[in-house]
Structure 1
């Protein structure tokens, strides 16, 4: 009996130390993702909900709305965050670029070389810089909480031939979103950008309206694009598929400090979950692609350098045409350099 009582007291002490204080007032957070339960975004939200509700000792309830129940696109959802009808929303950089055009910096090609560098950058002050910019530009209404991942890395894929360098893409019709930056990248590669809505991409590949796209492997296999003729994937890794997690700044700042701490730590847990999820899911997706006859090509270091060289005009375009582009470009360049230095130093220590 005494042993059981001691265990109960120990558990109570642990919860008290984790949640700090359970306010008499309850807090309800409405979080939405325009995706589905097979997506990394959902994985992240489940981790966030579980952590926040447990660590707040039930003072915070997180309601999940997956799909388009609360809003259907980036502009509409971010307006909901701004007016407080939505507390948390996840967008791609393209989905938020209409309001915060500089977030497209995450789509600039070949700046971050691998997961380790990208995760270092997105866990540091670069995200805080972008947060401050978004708060300033939204009148302190929309707060960027963290940046995770939603699908791994974007790679070039097509229905025509193996691509080992930009010359192989000459004249190829590549599907892009409507945003300018991905179209500039496709043009820099010598291909023809063709904006096509996502739901129409399967048919467009099948009928030859487009001959390629730039997607992560989980999206390619999830949408069954090989059945539409997409048989060639080149692992050039031109962009890390960043997921921007936004929160109503009023909802956040109206909470007492102990509850804000729980929310911040919840977003850290969410970020780690979305960093990990695509790595696991991509294994089976790549295996399926190859087993079904797909051609998966890994560029050599020299070939990767050729892709990077061809893409350099996009950096100048971004700095010259995107509002606050030079400011956020410089912030990313500094963060990448620091990440590379830290990561290489850590590698050297581990090698010796």
Structure 2
């Protein structure tokens, strides 16, 4: 016998290893408000921000897989230990701007392809619900000097995450990749253990990295900071269809919130960076092309060394081409 939606008593535990100033939190607030309202209270969403439920990505993802956590947001590097092909979002200089990136994530089949593959590779335990943004675009920032071309990075110690692909990118540009845990980065910059990092401006200002000497930033926009929102698949599948729809629509609302939040927050963040004495540099088109050319070996490395990498890189490039065609057609229409 079908159970009416109003009779349901579902609680979803959602966590993000960030803080209440972060885009992830903004997205979760929108998700919680929508889901609880649209379900007429049949679904409650509990938010756990920071490390209340789990601290490391592997621990949090395992929590989603075993059902102790219902919803978690991971960066591509965090999820890469489980499904390495999600590092496509760390591949440099493939998507040109926010409009193209958002078109890829909302109007192509890329997210569905990733969802099916992640479900298969986790034994049906982990379901990708949507992909948003967490912090805008990754740019190179450092404590030493202005970076205008790839040669300016040569020999510099750049902080990366543990994942292989970001290290391969830094190495391809002539710098030395140095994996450092996020909580240790401030001290590492301050003491010279590393001389630079690759982050978005909201993260840089939120963590007060300029106080540790990070005073030079180059807006090369080498990677879109994708936010992969995952959910325990059993928790999702156990819902009746009307509540599944509410949750799916809630994630669509969340996605839009995370697209918008970094754009707004970055305005003040850039102003504060410059006001504090920061040097903000925008590469010329020729200089940006030089960065892309220098980074090209990373694509081959990904295709050859990541399980499923060649197929996923082809899928990603096809989705980008489809998005560019669609966006450019609308641009032409709007301009005429």
- Which category describes the TM-score, using the shorter chain as reference length? over 0.9
Q: Tell me the matched-pair count.
A: 332
CA contact (8 A) 1:22 1:58 kept: no
Give per-residue Cα distances to partners, 1:291-337, cap 9 Å, x unaligned: 11111001111111111111110000001111111111111010000
Structure 2 residue 4 is matched with structure 1 residue 40? no
Partner of 1:325: 309
Indicate which of 96, 100, 105 corresponds to 2:88. Answer: 105
Structure 2 residue 297 is matched with structure 1 residue 310? no
SS at match of 1:36: coil
Q: Structure 1: which 4+ aligned runs deviate by more than 6 Å?
A: none
Indicate which of 71, 74, 81 corresponds to 1:88. Answer: 71
SS at match of 1:160: coil
Partner of 1:68: 51
Indicate which of 202, 220, 241 corresponds to 2:225. Answer: 241
- Higher-Rg member (1/2): 1
How many angstroms apart in 1 are the aligned matches of 2:188 and 2:63? 33
CA contact (8 A) 1:48 1:269 kept: yes
Structure 2 residue 215 is matched with structure 1 residue 210? no
Q: TM-score, normalising length from structure 1?
A: 0.93
SS at match of 1:122: helix
How many angstroms apart in 1 are the aligned matches of 2:184 and 2:11? 37
- CA shift, 1:25, in A, is 2.0
- CA shift, 1:83, in A, is 1.2
Give per-residue Cα distances to partners, 1:240-297, cap 9 Å, x unaligned: 1011000011111111111100000000000000000000000000000111111100
Indicate which of 118, 123, 141 corresponds to 1:139. Answer: 123
SS at match of 1:139: coil
- CA shift, 1:23, in A, is 3.1
How many angstroms apart in 2 are the aligned matches of 1:335 and 1:55? 32
1:287-306 residue pairs with structure 2 within 5 A?
Answer: 287-306=271-290
Give per-residue Cα distances to partners, 1:24-48, cap 9 Å, x unaligned: 1221111111111111111000000
SS at match of 1:178: coil
Q: TM-score, normalising length from structure 2?
A: 0.97
RMSD: 0.9
Partner of 2:132: 148
Partner of 1:130: 114
